[in-house]
Amino acid sequence: MAQDAIRLDGKVVLITGGAGGIGWATAQRMAQRGARVAIADIAFDRARELAETLPGALAIALDLEQADSIEAMIAGTVAHFGRLDVLHNNAALLGPDIAQQDGDIEHMATALWDRTYAVNVRGTMIGCRAALPHLRVSGGNIVNTVSNLALQGHIIQAAYSSSKAAIIQMTRAIAASHGIHGVRCNAVAPGMTMTPALREAFPPQLREAVEGETLRPQLGVAEDIAEAVAFLASDAARNITGQVLVADGGCASHVPGLAAFRAFFSGDAFQGVGH
């Protein structure tokens, strides 16, 4: 493998939700590694503003609830750049108003459930379906953003977490069915990541609770997820497919109640216990 396998020189990368925190950090990282980037987002003005800061980048309007919009995104990217090497499905239905409605199943509104699946699962499927013929030609790959909530139970975000679990299985299905054609498909599962949207959606005390369960001194930031995505998209990850890379600072890796245990064993009477 070449020493510069992490590079993305000449590759065309399409990022959905590219005007958001993780999407924008990923677009920047991909461009720094030499990729030509298409930024697709429902917030088109913001996407265009950001695209203007990256050499040769393209902004595309995207509505994941509309199949025509998704298919036009793929076709427009290929028409503009002449190829497609990486599809990063990052966009999702996730904002402060949605988060407040997305609780447990007993109190779940059917309309919210249906819309979450329409955007997150159906939208991702249509994007992959439209991209796969082009990725077969380029020997490209797909990287899906999921969530560590797709791997764990929680009392909130039942619709969001289960939709992301569905995307994990879609990731495996695509990897299994299209690997023979040279197409890889992986997923990145962030934990709570410090973005402007997260600061708006979650009260400080909840962020602090998650931070207490993190094995690092602080929560991750968007650039941490961008690094994981860029790695999976590169030839350095050529032997990795059908996998979920959990990038949550270790939150999903330990026993429940670790923060309480940490506090208990830090007391004077227990210094040295458990070490």
| Domains along the chain with CATH numbers | 12-270 (3.40.50.720)
pLDDT of residue 1: 64
At residue 200, the pLDDT reads 67
Which residue reads 């569905």 in tokens? 166
Q: Residue 270 has what pLDDT?
A: 45
* 96 closest CA partner among 18, 15, 157, 9: 157
pLDDT tens, residue order, the chain (275 aa): 666 999 999 999 999 999 999 999 999 999 999 999 999 999 999 999 999 999 999 999 999 999 999 999 999 999 999 999 999 999 999 887 888 899 999 999 999 999 999 999 999 999 999 999 999 999 999 999 999 999 999 988 999 999 999 999 999 999 999 999 999 999 999 988 777 766 666 677 777 878 778 888 888 899 999 999 999 999 999 999 999 999 988 888 887 888 888 888 875 544 444 44
Cα distance between residue 127 and residue 67, in whole Å = 8
Q: Render the burial of 75-91: b for 16+ CB within 10 Å, e for the rest.
A: ebbbeebebbbbbbbbb
Encode burial over 208-237: b for 16+ CB neighbours within 10 A, e otherwise. Answer: eebbebbeeeebbebebbbbbbbbbbbbbb
Return d(Cα 237, Cα 245) in angstroms, integer.
Answer: 12
Phi-psi sector, 17: left (phi>0), alpha (psi -120 to 50), beta: left
pLDDT at residue 269 in the model: 44
| Interaxial angle between packed helices 67-81 and 123-138, expressed in degrees from 0 to 180 and rounded to the nearest 10 | 20
**CA angle, 82 as apex, 135 and 36 as ends, to 5°?**
85
Query: Which of 69, 79, 66, 88 is CA-nearest to residue 187?
Result: 88
pLDDT at 257: 83
Long-range contacts of 105-109 (CB under 8 A, 24+ apart): 105/158, 108/158, 108/159
Would you state the pLDDT for residue 68? 98
Q: What pLDDT is attached to residue 150?
A: 92
Neighbouring C-alpha atoms within 13 Å toward the C-beta of 44: 7
Tell me which residues are annotated as active site: 160
pLDDT at site 12? 98
